[in-house]
Amino acid sequence: MNLKQDISQADFERIEKYLFDKMGENEKLFFEKELKETPALNAKLDELKLIFEGIEKAEFKEKLNQFHREMGKDSNLRIVKTTSFNWKSFAVAASIIFIAVISVILYNRPNANERLFAAYYKTDPGLVTAMSSKGMDYEFERGMVDFKSGEFQSAVNRWEALLAGNPNSDTLNYFLGTAYLELGYSAQAIQNLHKVSENSQSKFVDDANWYLALAYILEDKKDEARQALIRTNHPLKAELLNQLDEK
């Protein structure tokens, strides 16, 4: 079994959560928005859905065959009551098989962009928080606590609400971009980080261009990644540029 689409581990995990309805409401909304805006991600979803449906059919066929085998053991057996099919158990079993099959595929098809990203990516340490008593400062700092605790979706929810009232904030756009990158939403990360990368006066401009380059690598946009790297003074800039030139 071969996937036509080159799927990363991060995309697989997000699609698996979506297919099995394990996403929170906000995360699901963001994911469905990205599906509409990213044809490649939609294609990955459709292909994995087909694989899963094939597993479901195989499982169901085997259960039917088992039923007929059991019927054949006793020709006098009569059905006196219709039993309900345990769809929940079936879904769990199919999910396990689905994950096992895709894991083998992913193991045998490593993604070069994903490996390059992982080699150079480090989570931003965030800002020191003072936890102001109220208002916008409190909401931002509460989001920063979530961010530094690894609760990236919670941080995104808080900061997106703040960004609606201050769309040009370099601080909000920068940390939203890095939080989206942590969640695997590289396309959304690019939108936020790009705003900061164009602001030469921002104290986040160097780091924004660095993370922007990494996000472009995940999106397989190497020319854009090079341009972002040229604009940053990150200490690993030259090394990563050489890596891109070798690809």
Per-residue DSSP letters for 164-200?
HH-TT-HHHHHHHHHHHHHHT-HHHHHHHHHHHHT-T
List phi, psi (to 5°) of 86: -80, 85
The pLDDT, as a whole number, for residue 108 is 47
Both tokens of 152, joined, read 């990236």
The last residue of a domain, from among 57, 89, 110: 110
**What pLDDT sits at residue 238?**
95
Q: In terms of domains, do 131 and 148 share one?
A: yes
Neighbours of 13 (CB within 10 A): 14
**Domain encompassing residue 68:** 9-110
Q: What's the pTM?
A: 0.58
Nearest-angstrom CA–CA distance, 245 and 223: 10
Q: Are residues 198 and 127 in the same domain?
A: yes
Instruction: Say how far apart CA 75 and CA 98 lie, in whole Å.
Output: 36
Residue 1 in any domain: the answer is no
Backbone torsion region of residue 131, taken as left when φ is above 0, otherwise alpha when ψ lies between -120 and 50, otherwise beta? left
* Cα–Cα dist 33/28, whole Å: 8
Q: Which residue, 210, 5, 23, 27, is CA-closest to 102?
A: 5
| Tens-binned pLDDT, residue by residue, of the chain (247 aa) | 445 456 777 788 888 888 888 888 888 888 898 888 888 888 888 888 877 776 656 655 555 566 556 655 554 444 434 444 454 555 555 556 556 555 555 554 547 899 899 999 999 999 987 655 455 688 999 999 999 999 999 999 999 999 999 999 999 999 999 999 999 999 999 999 999 999 999 999 999 999 999 999 999 999 999 999 999 999 999 999 999 988 6
Q: 127 and 214 in one domain?
A: yes
Instruction: Tell me the CA distances in angstroms from 104 to 17, 127, 212, one per residue in order.
Output: 18, 39, 31
Phi first, then psi: give them for residue 198, nearest 5 degrees.
-90, -5
Residue 152 is part of a domain; what is its CATH number? 1.25.40.10
Asked if residue 63 belongs to a domain, the reply is yes
Whole-number Å distance between alpha carbons of 71 and 67: 6
Domain final residue, candidates 110, 139, 154: 110
Q: How many domains does the chain have?
A: 2
Distance (Å, rounded) from C-alpha 231 to C-alpha 210? Answer: 8
Could you tell me if 121 and 234 lie in one domain?
yes
Query: What is the per-residue pLDDT for 47?
Result: 81
Neighbours of 177 (CB within 10 A): 29
